[in-house]
Chains A and B, each alone.
Chain A
Amino acid sequence: MNTTAQKNELIFGYSSGNLGEAKSLFTSMYLYLNTFAAKKASIFENMLAQNFSELEGVKPKKLKFTDCIKNPNVNKDIPNSATNPVSRIVGNLNNINWKTIYNGFKEYNIPVNDKDSVKLIKMDPGTSVPLHSHNGKEYILVLEGSFCDEYGEYNKGDMQINDQQIKHNPTACKDDGCVCLSITENDVVFFGKFGSILNLFTFIKSFFK
Protein backbone atom coordinates (compact mmCIF):
# COMPACT_ATOMS: atom_id res chain seq x y z
CA MET A 1 0.00 0.00 0.00
CA ASN A 2 1.33 3.40 -0.95
CA THR A 3 0.42 5.56 2.04
CA THR A 4 2.33 8.61 0.82
CA ALA A 5 0.23 8.71 -2.33
CA GLN A 6 -2.94 8.43 -0.24
CA LYS A 7 -1.82 11.22 2.07
CA ASN A 8 -1.01 13.37 -0.95
CA GLU A 9 -4.43 12.68 -2.36
CA LEU A 10 -5.95 14.19 0.79
CA ILE A 11 -3.62 17.19 0.74
CA PHE A 12 -4.12 17.92 -2.97
CA GLY A 13 -7.86 17.40 -2.67
CA TYR A 14 -7.86 19.89 0.19
CA SER A 15 -5.88 22.49 -1.79
CA SER A 16 -8.14 22.22 -4.80
CA GLY A 17 -11.26 22.28 -2.63
CA ASN A 18 -12.87 19.01 -3.67
CA LEU A 19 -13.03 17.19 -0.32
CA GLY A 20 -16.24 16.73 1.65
CA GLU A 21 -16.71 18.29 5.08
CA ALA A 22 -15.35 15.34 7.05
CA LYS A 23 -12.11 15.04 5.09
CA SER A 24 -11.71 18.84 4.94
CA LEU A 25 -11.81 19.06 8.71
CA PHE A 26 -9.48 16.10 9.06
CA THR A 27 -6.95 17.45 6.55
CA SER A 28 -7.12 20.96 7.97
CA MET A 29 -6.16 19.53 11.37
CA TYR A 30 -3.41 17.45 9.76
CA LEU A 31 -1.93 20.58 8.16
CA TYR A 32 -2.25 22.43 11.46
CA LEU A 33 -0.24 19.79 13.33
CA ASN A 34 2.16 18.64 10.65
CA THR A 35 4.54 21.23 9.16
CA PHE A 36 5.72 18.91 6.42
CA ALA A 37 2.16 18.30 5.23
CA ALA A 38 1.41 22.05 5.40
CA LYS A 39 4.42 22.68 3.19
CA LYS A 40 3.12 20.20 0.60
CA ALA A 41 -0.27 21.91 0.64
CA SER A 42 1.39 25.28 0.14
CA ILE A 43 3.34 23.92 -2.84
CA PHE A 44 0.24 22.52 -4.45
CA GLU A 45 -1.82 25.64 -3.73
CA ASN A 46 0.83 27.80 -5.37
CA MET A 47 0.89 25.51 -8.40
CA LEU A 48 -2.86 25.85 -8.76
CA ALA A 49 -2.51 29.59 -8.30
CA GLN A 50 -0.01 29.58 -11.16
CA ASN A 51 -2.76 28.14 -13.40
CA PHE A 52 -4.94 30.91 -12.05
CA SER A 53 -2.45 33.65 -12.91
CA GLU A 54 -2.07 32.28 -16.45
CA LEU A 55 -5.83 32.26 -17.08
CA GLU A 56 -6.98 34.47 -19.86
CA GLY A 57 -9.36 36.87 -18.12
CA VAL A 58 -13.03 37.21 -18.93
CA LYS A 59 -14.13 40.74 -18.11
CA PRO A 60 -17.34 40.78 -16.05
CA LYS A 61 -20.17 42.29 -18.11
CA LYS A 62 -22.23 44.04 -15.46
CA LEU A 63 -20.08 44.02 -12.36
CA LYS A 64 -18.24 47.23 -11.41
CA PHE A 65 -15.73 47.77 -8.64
CA THR A 66 -18.20 49.98 -6.75
CA ASP A 67 -20.62 47.01 -6.49
CA CYS A 68 -17.96 45.18 -4.52
CA ILE A 69 -17.35 48.05 -2.11
CA LYS A 70 -21.06 48.46 -1.43
CA ASN A 71 -21.88 44.79 -0.97
CA PRO A 72 -23.84 44.45 2.32
CA ASN A 73 -23.81 40.63 2.23
CA VAL A 74 -20.12 40.11 2.70
CA ASN A 75 -18.97 38.31 5.82
CA LYS A 76 -16.60 40.50 7.82
CA ASP A 77 -15.74 37.97 10.54
CA ILE A 78 -12.11 37.21 10.90
CA PRO A 79 -11.47 33.71 12.24
CA ASN A 80 -8.94 33.26 14.98
CA SER A 81 -6.22 31.29 13.25
CA ALA A 82 -4.41 30.58 16.52
CA THR A 83 -7.06 28.04 17.61
CA ASN A 84 -6.89 24.63 16.01
CA PRO A 85 -9.67 23.73 13.54
CA VAL A 86 -11.16 20.94 15.67
CA SER A 87 -11.38 23.07 18.81
CA ARG A 88 -13.03 25.86 16.81
CA ILE A 89 -15.87 23.42 16.19
CA VAL A 90 -16.09 21.28 19.34
CA GLY A 91 -14.46 23.60 21.89
CA ASN A 92 -11.84 22.49 24.41
CA LEU A 93 -11.12 18.75 24.09
CA ASN A 94 -11.20 18.38 27.88
CA ASN A 95 -14.81 19.57 28.12
CA ILE A 96 -16.30 17.28 25.50
CA ASN A 97 -19.24 15.06 26.37
CA TRP A 98 -17.50 11.76 25.58
CA LYS A 99 -19.48 8.59 25.04
CA THR A 100 -17.89 5.48 26.59
CA ILE A 101 -17.82 2.57 24.15
CA TYR A 102 -15.98 0.22 26.50
CA ASN A 103 -13.66 0.58 29.46
CA GLY A 104 -10.88 3.03 28.55
CA PHE A 105 -12.25 3.80 25.08
CA LYS A 106 -14.43 6.86 24.41
CA GLU A 107 -15.82 8.46 21.28
CA TYR A 108 -17.35 11.75 20.23
CA ASN A 109 -19.05 12.09 16.86
CA ILE A 110 -18.54 15.45 15.20
CA PRO A 111 -21.72 16.33 13.29
CA VAL A 112 -20.99 16.86 9.60
CA ASN A 113 -22.99 16.98 6.41
CA ASP A 114 -21.14 14.30 4.59
CA LYS A 115 -21.26 10.63 3.62
CA ASP A 116 -18.04 10.07 5.59
CA SER A 117 -18.26 10.27 9.36
CA VAL A 118 -15.66 11.93 11.54
CA LYS A 119 -15.16 11.37 15.24
CA LEU A 120 -12.78 11.97 18.10
CA ILE A 121 -11.43 8.93 19.92
CA LYS A 122 -9.95 8.99 23.41
CA MET A 123 -8.03 6.00 24.72
CA ASP A 124 -6.81 5.78 28.30
CA PRO A 125 -3.15 4.82 28.81
CA GLY A 126 -2.53 1.20 27.80
CA THR A 127 -6.02 0.63 26.34
CA SER A 128 -6.06 -1.40 23.15
CA VAL A 129 -8.55 -2.01 20.37
CA PRO A 130 -9.15 -5.69 19.47
CA LEU A 131 -7.59 -6.89 16.23
CA HIS A 132 -9.71 -5.60 13.37
CA SER A 133 -9.70 -4.61 9.70
CA HIS A 134 -11.87 -2.18 7.74
CA ASN A 135 -14.49 -2.54 5.06
CA GLY A 136 -13.73 0.92 3.76
CA LYS A 137 -10.79 3.16 4.49
CA GLU A 138 -10.04 4.53 7.92
CA TYR A 139 -7.93 7.63 8.50
CA ILE A 140 -6.47 8.26 11.97
CA LEU A 141 -4.67 11.41 13.06
CA VAL A 142 -3.03 11.65 16.49
CA LEU A 143 -3.99 14.91 18.26
CA GLU A 144 -2.55 14.18 21.70
CA GLY A 145 -0.37 11.42 23.16
CA SER A 146 0.53 8.44 21.00
CA PHE A 147 -0.44 4.89 20.08
CA CYS A 148 1.36 1.93 18.58
CA ASP A 149 0.39 -1.13 16.60
CA GLU A 150 2.05 -3.81 14.45
CA TYR A 151 3.18 -1.14 11.99
CA GLY A 152 4.89 1.29 14.34
CA GLU A 153 4.45 4.15 16.77
CA TYR A 154 2.27 7.15 15.94
CA ASN A 155 2.78 10.47 17.69
CA LYS A 156 1.04 13.86 17.64
CA GLY A 157 0.58 14.99 14.03
CA ASP A 158 1.14 11.49 12.55
CA MET A 159 -1.49 10.00 10.27
CA GLN A 160 -2.32 6.38 9.62
CA ILE A 161 -4.47 5.18 6.71
CA ASN A 162 -5.96 1.68 6.94
CA ASP A 163 -7.85 -0.31 4.34
CA GLN A 164 -9.15 -3.84 3.79
CA GLN A 165 -5.68 -5.39 3.68
CA ILE A 166 -4.64 -4.06 7.08
CA LYS A 167 -5.44 -5.94 10.27
CA HIS A 168 -4.18 -4.19 13.36
CA ASN A 169 -4.35 -4.02 17.12
CA PRO A 170 -3.64 -0.42 18.21
CA THR A 171 -2.68 0.26 21.84
CA ALA A 172 -2.56 3.70 23.47
CA CYS A 173 0.79 4.66 24.95
CA LYS A 174 1.27 3.77 28.61
CA ASP A 175 2.08 7.28 29.89
CA ASP A 176 -0.62 9.58 28.65
CA GLY A 177 -2.99 7.60 26.39
CA CYS A 178 -4.09 9.28 23.21
CA VAL A 179 -6.71 11.41 21.52
CA CYS A 180 -7.22 10.86 17.80
CA LEU A 181 -9.36 12.23 15.02
CA SER A 182 -10.73 9.48 12.83
CA ILE A 183 -12.66 9.18 9.59
CA THR A 184 -14.30 5.95 8.60
CA GLU A 185 -15.68 5.39 5.16
CA ASN A 186 -17.38 2.15 6.29
CA ASP A 187 -17.79 -0.01 9.35
CA VAL A 188 -14.91 -1.87 10.93
CA VAL A 189 -14.66 -5.70 10.97
CA PHE A 190 -13.38 -7.24 14.24
CA PHE A 191 -11.53 -10.52 14.76
CA GLY A 192 -10.63 -12.62 17.83
CA LYS A 193 -12.25 -13.33 21.19
CA PHE A 194 -14.48 -10.27 21.45
CA GLY A 195 -14.63 -9.85 17.69
CA SER A 196 -17.95 -11.56 17.10
CA ILE A 197 -19.69 -9.51 19.82
CA LEU A 198 -18.32 -6.25 18.45
CA ASN A 199 -19.27 -7.24 14.90
CA LEU A 200 -22.77 -8.01 16.10
CA PHE A 201 -22.81 -4.60 17.76
CA THR A 202 -21.84 -2.79 14.54
CA PHE A 203 -24.33 -4.95 12.65
CA ILE A 204 -27.15 -3.93 14.99
CA LYS A 205 -25.97 -0.32 14.99
CA SER A 206 -26.27 -0.27 11.20
CA PHE A 207 -30.07 -0.62 11.54
CA PHE A 208 -30.27 2.63 13.44
CA LYS A 209 -28.30 4.74 11.02
Chain B
Amino acid sequence: MENTKIIDLVRRVSETRDEIAFSEIFDFIAPKINAYFIKNNLSIEQSEELTQEVLSTIWVKAELFNPEKSKFITWSFTIARNKKIDFYRKNKKNDVNEEDIRDFLYENNKQDDFETESIINKITQELDQNQKKLIKMSFFEQKSHKNISEELEIPIGTVKSRIRASLNKMQKHI
Protein backbone atom coordinates (compact mmCIF):
# COMPACT_ATOMS: atom_id res chain seq x y z
CA MET B 1 0.00 0.00 0.00
CA GLU B 2 1.15 3.53 -0.77
CA ASN B 3 2.48 5.48 2.21
CA THR B 4 0.15 8.42 1.36
CA LYS B 5 -2.90 6.17 1.44
CA ILE B 6 -1.94 4.66 4.79
CA ILE B 7 -1.26 8.13 6.24
CA ASP B 8 -4.82 9.09 5.32
CA LEU B 9 -6.20 5.92 6.93
CA VAL B 10 -4.29 6.51 10.19
CA ARG B 11 -5.49 10.12 10.21
CA ARG B 12 -9.10 8.95 9.87
CA VAL B 13 -8.58 6.58 12.81
CA SER B 14 -7.05 9.24 15.06
CA GLU B 15 -9.50 12.00 14.16
CA THR B 16 -12.83 10.19 13.83
CA ARG B 17 -12.22 6.67 15.21
CA ASP B 18 -13.09 5.40 11.74
CA GLU B 19 -13.43 1.60 12.04
CA ILE B 20 -13.58 1.02 8.28
CA ALA B 21 -10.24 2.82 7.88
CA PHE B 22 -8.83 0.71 10.70
CA SER B 23 -10.01 -2.51 9.02
CA GLU B 24 -8.02 -1.52 5.93
CA ILE B 25 -4.91 -0.84 8.04
CA PHE B 26 -5.48 -4.22 9.68
CA ASP B 27 -5.68 -6.06 6.35
CA PHE B 28 -2.45 -4.41 5.20
CA ILE B 29 -0.26 -4.66 8.30
CA ALA B 30 -1.58 -7.53 10.48
CA PRO B 31 -0.22 -10.32 8.20
CA LYS B 32 3.25 -8.70 8.19
CA ILE B 33 3.28 -8.28 11.96
CA ASN B 34 2.11 -11.84 12.41
CA ALA B 35 4.82 -13.07 10.03
CA TYR B 36 7.45 -11.06 11.95
CA PHE B 37 6.58 -12.81 15.22
CA ILE B 38 6.55 -16.23 13.54
CA LYS B 39 9.99 -15.45 12.02
CA ASN B 40 11.18 -14.61 15.53
CA ASN B 41 10.36 -18.13 16.65
CA LEU B 42 7.06 -17.52 18.41
CA SER B 43 4.25 -20.05 18.12
CA ILE B 44 1.22 -19.43 15.91
CA GLU B 45 -0.94 -18.67 18.99
CA GLN B 46 1.61 -16.36 20.59
CA SER B 47 2.14 -14.56 17.29
CA GLU B 48 -1.58 -13.87 16.89
CA GLU B 49 -1.85 -12.67 20.48
CA LEU B 50 1.02 -10.25 20.02
CA THR B 51 -0.35 -9.15 16.64
CA GLN B 52 -3.58 -8.27 18.43
CA GLU B 53 -1.64 -6.19 20.96
CA VAL B 54 0.25 -4.32 18.25
CA LEU B 55 -2.92 -3.56 16.27
CA SER B 56 -4.73 -2.46 19.45
CA THR B 57 -1.84 -0.10 20.17
CA ILE B 58 -2.10 1.31 16.64
CA TRP B 59 -5.85 1.80 17.24
CA VAL B 60 -5.50 3.66 20.58
CA LYS B 61 -2.30 5.55 19.82
CA ALA B 62 -2.89 6.49 16.19
CA GLU B 63 -2.48 10.17 17.03
CA LEU B 64 1.12 9.52 18.09
CA PHE B 65 2.08 8.63 14.54
CA ASN B 66 3.78 11.60 12.92
CA PRO B 67 3.85 11.18 9.13
CA GLU B 68 6.28 14.08 8.80
CA LYS B 69 8.89 12.25 10.85
CA SER B 70 8.52 8.61 9.97
CA LYS B 71 7.01 6.06 7.67
CA PHE B 72 4.07 4.06 8.90
CA ILE B 73 5.94 0.82 8.27
CA THR B 74 8.85 1.90 10.53
CA TRP B 75 6.47 3.10 13.23
CA SER B 76 4.55 -0.18 13.28
CA PHE B 77 7.80 -2.17 13.18
CA THR B 78 9.03 -0.44 16.36
CA ILE B 79 5.73 -1.16 18.12
CA ALA B 80 6.01 -4.85 17.13
CA ARG B 81 9.65 -4.99 18.26
CA ASN B 82 8.75 -3.51 21.65
CA LYS B 83 5.91 -6.03 22.10
CA LYS B 84 8.40 -8.80 21.39
CA ILE B 85 10.82 -7.47 24.05
CA ASP B 86 7.91 -7.29 26.47
CA PHE B 87 6.86 -10.83 25.67
CA TYR B 88 10.31 -12.26 26.40
CA ARG B 89 10.52 -10.28 29.63
CA LYS B 90 7.20 -11.65 30.88
CA ASN B 91 8.36 -15.15 30.06
CA LYS B 92 11.59 -14.94 31.99
CA LYS B 93 11.00 -16.83 35.22
CA ASN B 94 12.42 -14.52 37.88
CA ASP B 95 11.07 -11.12 37.17
CA VAL B 96 7.37 -11.44 36.47
CA ASN B 97 6.33 -8.73 38.90
CA GLU B 98 9.06 -6.27 38.18
CA GLU B 99 8.41 -3.33 35.96
CA ASP B 100 10.73 -3.23 33.00
CA ILE B 101 12.50 0.08 32.64
CA ARG B 102 12.38 -0.33 28.88
CA ASP B 103 8.72 0.66 29.03
CA PHE B 104 10.03 4.16 29.64
CA LEU B 105 12.32 4.24 26.66
CA TYR B 106 11.91 3.96 22.91
CA GLU B 107 9.61 6.92 22.29
CA ASN B 108 12.42 9.41 22.21
CA ASN B 109 13.84 9.01 18.76
CA LYS B 110 13.57 12.59 17.63
CA GLN B 111 15.10 11.88 14.26
CA ASP B 112 13.47 12.65 10.98
CA ASP B 113 13.45 9.32 9.14
CA PHE B 114 13.11 10.94 5.73
CA GLU B 115 16.42 12.78 6.12
CA THR B 116 18.22 9.45 6.32
CA GLU B 117 16.52 7.86 3.31
CA SER B 118 19.30 8.61 0.82
CA ILE B 119 21.91 7.15 3.20
CA ILE B 120 19.88 3.97 3.57
CA ASN B 121 19.60 3.66 -0.20
CA LYS B 122 23.38 3.99 -0.54
CA ILE B 123 23.96 1.34 2.11
CA THR B 124 21.49 -1.13 0.62
CA GLN B 125 23.10 -0.67 -2.79
CA GLU B 126 26.52 -1.43 -1.41
CA LEU B 127 25.66 -4.54 0.59
CA ASP B 128 25.43 -7.70 -1.47
CA GLN B 129 22.67 -10.31 -1.09
CA ASN B 130 24.66 -12.45 1.37
CA GLN B 131 25.47 -9.51 3.60
CA LYS B 132 21.85 -8.33 3.61
CA LYS B 133 20.76 -11.84 4.51
CA LEU B 134 23.17 -12.01 7.46
CA ILE B 135 22.08 -8.62 8.80
CA LYS B 136 18.47 -9.71 8.46
CA MET B 137 19.02 -13.03 10.24
CA SER B 138 21.12 -11.55 13.01
CA PHE B 139 19.25 -8.33 13.80
CA PHE B 140 15.75 -8.76 12.38
CA GLU B 141 15.13 -12.42 13.15
CA GLN B 142 17.49 -12.28 16.16
CA LYS B 143 19.14 -15.59 15.37
CA SER B 144 22.32 -16.39 17.28
CA HIS B 145 25.60 -16.61 15.36
CA LYS B 146 25.56 -20.34 16.08
CA ASN B 147 22.09 -20.81 14.55
CA ILE B 148 23.03 -18.78 11.50
CA SER B 149 26.17 -20.85 11.02
CA GLU B 150 24.16 -24.07 11.19
CA GLU B 151 21.42 -22.85 8.91
CA LEU B 152 23.75 -21.51 6.22
CA GLU B 153 26.36 -24.24 6.76
CA ILE B 154 29.27 -21.83 7.15
CA PRO B 155 31.72 -21.67 10.08
CA ILE B 156 30.71 -19.47 13.03
CA GLY B 157 33.91 -17.40 12.64
CA THR B 158 32.89 -16.58 9.08
CA VAL B 159 29.43 -15.52 10.24
CA LYS B 160 30.97 -13.15 12.77
CA SER B 161 33.53 -11.68 10.40
CA ARG B 162 30.94 -11.20 7.62
CA ILE B 163 28.53 -9.42 9.96
CA ARG B 164 31.34 -7.21 11.20
CA ALA B 165 32.40 -6.44 7.62
CA SER B 166 28.82 -5.49 6.69
CA LEU B 167 28.54 -3.22 9.71
CA ASN B 168 31.84 -1.59 8.76
CA LYS B 169 30.52 -0.99 5.26
CA MET B 170 27.46 0.66 6.76
CA GLN B 171 29.64 2.73 9.05
CA LYS B 172 31.30 4.39 6.07
CA HIS B 173 28.01 6.04 5.14
CA ILE B 174 26.88 7.14 8.60
Residues of A within 8 A of B (CB): 4-5, 8-9, 12, 15-18, 21, 24-25, 28, 31-32, 38-53, 55-63, 65-69, 71, 73-76, 78-79, 81, 84-85, 88-89, 110, 112-113
Picked from A44, A56, A112, the residue with its CB within 8 Å of the CB of B35 is A56
| Residues on the A chain within 8 Å of B30, using CB | 57, 59-60, 63, 65
| Size class of the contact patch on chain B | 35 or more
Judging by beta carbons under 8 Å apart, are A67 and B52 in contact?
Answer: yes
Q: Which of A17, A55, A59 is B82 in contact with, Cβ under 8 Å?
A: A17
Interchain nearest-CB distance for A209 vs B (Å): 16
**By the criterion CB–CB under 8 Å, are B48 and A62 in contact?**
yes
Is B162 engaged at the interface, CB distance under 8 Å to the other chain? no
Instruction: Select which of B38, B59, B71 is within 8 A of A49 by beta carbon.
Output: B71
Q: Would you call B41 an interface residue if the criterion is a C-beta within 8 Å of the partner chain's C-beta atoms?
A: no
Q: Closest 10 interchain pairs by CB?
A: A57-B31, A65-B26, A42-B111, A68-B55, A71-B56, A49-B74, A28-B105, A16-B139, A74-B56, A49-B77
A113 close to B100 (CB less than 8 A): yes
A to B CB contacts below 8 Å, 11 in the list: A5-B167, A8-B170, A46-B117, A49-B73, A49-B74, A49-B78, A52-B80, A55-B39, A57-B35, A74-B53, A75-B57
Q: Report yes or no: A43 in contact with B23, Cβ–Cβ below 8 A.
A: no
B146 at the interface (CB under 8 A from A): no
In the complex with contacts A52-B77, A62-B48, A42-B109 CB distance below 8 A: yes
